[in-house]
Amino acid sequence: MASLKSLLVEALSVTRDLFRIMIPIIVVVKVLQEWGVIGLLADPLSGIMGYVGLPGSMGLVWATAMINNIYSGIIVYASLAPQESLSAAQTTVLATMILVAHSLPVELEIVRKSGPKWWFQALMRVGSAFVLGMILHHVYAWGGWLSQESVLLIGVDPGAQDLVSWGIGQIRNLAWIFVIILGLLVLMRLLSAMGITRLLIGLLGPLLRVLGIGKEAAPLTIVGMVMGIGYGGGLILHEVKKKRVGQRDIFFALSLMGLSHSLIEDTLLMMSLGGGLSGILVGRVLFSLIFVFGLVRLVGCLSEKTFLRWLFTAREGDGGGSTKACQSMPSGIPPLRSNQ
């Protein structure tokens, strides 16, 4: 009974911190959507969609997903796709870009509260989405792959939603977040008690070390990549308050999660739009691993002072030297945390 009580208290603590971030931003985004601000963002995006092989109208889809969420982007896509007749390759490119950069106001605020600077994470995600979109576009065009017409596998009602229905839907979503967080905490304790967490970290240790993610952040990173940054980031935010995870662990873990998260649910959603696994899963994960691999080496060469000035907000009680990390590592692999 005491263990159950402690789990409930911990789940309430995690979700409370998340809700303090999410609820105000959800309301603000809804207001901006009603005022047509998302449409203003879509205008400049429409001019660059040609670089990834997409019609300008898809800029509105991506803008909606970035400012609001994936589901809103799907609704807009469902209303525009019949007029555009996109190929499977085009749908895959758009879906992959959405998966890398979506729900930015909420997710970037979760990241900011954990320490990393929001502006770098925003540029990283939007820029990476666009670069990955260009890569996929040229690869598919070069090989003539996925040239068949895209098929929308789900029916979406794009009709207007009144505020009461919207509010009820948001309350339902928040309730589910609490249930999922509680389930994740139970699962993590069970895996830890059974020794599975230690086994997974041991098996993934070499890869995680190269990616700059230490053993304290490894389980949370796995949760974020599989379930979503709201859950993995929320758990990391909880650990940050207890100062159990190093600064560079947090930075690299959240960077990886930002580029590649919710690998099950979101991937299935994009498949229902007609997106191919070669882009929405394989391409996204490979790009994320390669990008973070390079990021680790670049950031590892920064002094602690530069790291804390441009990429991370220092927490009270955290320390670290100002020497360049990469100069002290003969193997070429930078240290994972500032206190190592």
CA distance 140 to 90: 9
Instruction: Give the pLDDT score at 6.
Output: 81
Instruction: Please check whether residue 49 lies inside any domain of the structure.
Output: yes
Domain containing 24 equals: 2-152+161-313
Instruction: Give the pLDDT score at 179.
Output: 83
Instruction: Please check whether residue 212 lies inside any domain of the structure.
Output: yes
Average pLDDT value for the chain: 82
Instruction: Give the pLDDT score at 201.
Output: 65
pLDDT single digits (tens) 154-206: 655 555 567 888 888 888 878 887 887 788 778 777 877 887 767 766 776 67
3-class DSSP state of 321: coil
Question: What does the DSSP assignment read for 12-66?
Answer: HHHHHHHHHHHHHHHHHHHHHHHHTHHHHHHHHHHTTGGGGT--TTHHHHHHHHH
Instruction: Please check whether residue 319 lies inside any domain of the structure.
Output: no
What phi and psi, each to the nearest 5 degrees, are found at residue 145? -85, 155
Q: Is the Cβ–Cβ distance between 54 and 97 less than 8 Å?
A: no
pLDDT single digits (tens) 24-71: 878 887 787 788 777 777 888 888 999 999 999 999 899 999 998 888
Instruction: Please check whether residue 252 lies inside any domain of the structure.
Output: yes
Domain count, the chain: 1
Q: Is the Cβ–Cβ distance between 158 and 75 less than 8 Å?
A: yes
Instruction: Give the pLDDT score at 156.
Output: 57
Compute CA 303 distance to the chain's CA centroid, rounded to the nearest angstrom.
27
pLDDT in tens, the chain (340 residues): 667 778 888 888 878 877 887 788 788 877 877 887 777 778 888 889 999 999 999 998 999 999 988 888 888 888 788 788 899 999 999 999 999 999 999 899 888 988 999 999 999 999 999 999 999 999 999 999 999 999 887 655 555 567 888 888 888 878 887 887 788 778 777 877 887 767 766 776 677 777 878 777 777 777 778 767 766 667 777 777 777 778 898 899 899 989 998 887 788 889 888 999 999 999 999 999 999 999 999 998 999 999 999 999 876 555 433 334 453 333 333 443 333 3
- Evaluate if pTM is beyond 0.85: no
Residue with tokens 């979760």: 110
Instruction: Please check whether residue 276 lies inside any domain of the structure.
Output: yes
Question: How many residues in the chain?
Answer: 340
One-letter amino acid identity for 274? G
Which residues does residue 116 pair with via DSSP β-bridges, in sequence order? 312
Instruction: Please check whether residue 108 lies inside any domain of the structure.
Output: yes
Instruction: Give the pLDDT score at 317.
Output: 52
Instruction: Please check whether residue 147 lies inside any domain of the structure.
Output: yes
Measured on CA atoms in the order 331, 336, 338, 340, is the torsion positive or negative?
Answer: negative
Instruction: Please check whether residue 211 lies inside any domain of the structure.
Output: yes
Q: Is the Cβ–Cβ distance between 11 and 184 less than 8 Å?
A: no
